[in-house]
């Protein structure tokens, strides 16, 4: 299968999450990301945003298709923290601090999580994956990835494209493979 081998290749080269690769593969995304960044942040500092961006990029990574970072989940979270998730502001501030502490503890010499290699980032996140903070940012990332783009994430319906979700307001049968088959058999 074409996509499989491409994924395998990307995994081996471990270069698939780099900005250059995104720029080459998803130029439209990069342009829009820039404009979204210029819109300003509502809660995070620029430094915090860099870390959040790195975290969401590991929660749903880019491979041959874009991931959470390309879907603007980091901006979704920034907006959420001034909106529906206001109560979680403190949890984020503390959670991000703790992650930096964990980073320095696990990788002496490393200044911040976002500067770790992808493999190191995964190691660091695995170490905190049972914590309430990780669960919080994981869920917010998933929500940003799959909620309607109006909420700030799911940019260009990246999340919906991944799961082949058709967001049409109404659907007509046949809906799926098996009812289509049954319908065809009935017709003769």
Contact 52, 78 (CB under 8 A): yes
* Phi, psi angles (nearest 5°) of residue 117: -70, 165
- Considering all CA atoms of the chain, what is the largest pairwise distance in Å, rounded to the nearest integer? 70
Binders of other proteins in range 33-72 (CB under 8 A): 58-61, 63, 67
Q: Residue 77 in contact with residue 149, Cβ under 8 Å?
A: no
Which pair of tokens denotes residue 31? Answer: 């342009």
Going residue by residue from 159 to 188, which x/- string records binding to other proteins, judged by CB under 8 A? xx-xxxxxx-xxxxx-xxxxxxxxx-----
CA distance 61 to 42: 24
Instruction: Choose, by CB under 8 A, the member of 11, 19, 23, 24 that binds other proteins.
Output: 11
95 contributes a contact to other proteins by CB under 8 A: no
Stretch 118-157 residues interacting with other proteins (CB under 8 A):
122, 125, 129, 138-139, 141-143, 145-148, 150-151
Q: Which residues bind other proteins (CB under 8 A)?
A: 11, 58-61, 63, 67, 84, 122, 125, 129, 138-139, 141-143, 145-148, 150-151, 159-160, 162-167, 169-173, 175-183
């Amino acid at each position: 299968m074409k996509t499989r081998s491409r994924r395998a290749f990307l995994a081996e080269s471990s270069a698939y999450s780099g900005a250059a690769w995104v720029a080459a593969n998803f130029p439209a995304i990069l342009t829009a990301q820039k404009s979204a960044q210029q819109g300003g942040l509502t809660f995070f500092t620029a430094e915090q945003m860099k870390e959040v961006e790195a975290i969401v990029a590991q929660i749903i990574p880019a491979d041959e298709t874009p991931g959470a970072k390309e879907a603007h989940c980091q901006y979704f979270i920034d907006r959420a923290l001034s909106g529906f998730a206001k109560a979680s502001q403190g949890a984020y501030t503390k959670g991000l601090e703790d992650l930096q502490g964990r980073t320095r503890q696990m990788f002496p010499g490393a200044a911040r999580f976002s500067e770790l290699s992808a493999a190191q980032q995964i190691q660091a996140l695995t170490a905190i994956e049972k914590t309430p903070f990780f669960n919080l940012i994981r869920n917010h990332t998933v929500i940003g990835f799959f909620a309607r783009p109006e909420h700030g994430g799911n940019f260009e319906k990246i999340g919906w494209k991944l799961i082949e979700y058709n967001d049409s307001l109404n659907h007509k049968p046949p809906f799926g493979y098996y009812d289509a088959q049954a319908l065809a058999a009935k017709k003769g």
